[in-house]
Amino acid sequence: MILPDINLLVFAHDSGCPLHSRARRWWDDALAGSEGIGLAWITLLGLIRVSTHPAILHHPMTSEEICSRIEEWLELPHVHIPHPAENHFSRLRKNLHSLGTAGNLTT
């Protein structure tokens, strides 16, 4: 399963970004493929926040535009929003403890 990062999605939709063409090509290929794509809530909310912010993008989208685009993605059979398991927090805590850190590994 592919879990794209917010940066990749922003780059794929910001034509003013130097990485736009490469990111857009990758994202379009992923959407056209059959491998599962998980769009985490935090990624979707971040994408909405960044892609509609006029101080970040030269040509920000409206909330309706980005939400419609996200809805189109979610209508594809291999794209979904993953939901954490019942024991998600205890697993997160265990992983953070074993790594001995949190910082940049958390959002």
Q: What is the pTM of this model?
A: 0.83
Q: What is the mean pLDDT of the chain?
A: 93
Residues of the chain with pLDDT under 50: none
Q: What integer pLDDT is reported at residue 103 of this predicted model?
A: 80
Give the Cα separation of 26 and 98 in Å (integer).
34
Q: What integer pLDDT is reported at residue 42 of this predicted model?
A: 94
Q: What integer pLDDT is reported at residue 90 of this predicted model?
A: 95
Label each residue of 44-67 as H, E or C.
HHHHHHHHCCCCCCCCCCCHHHHH
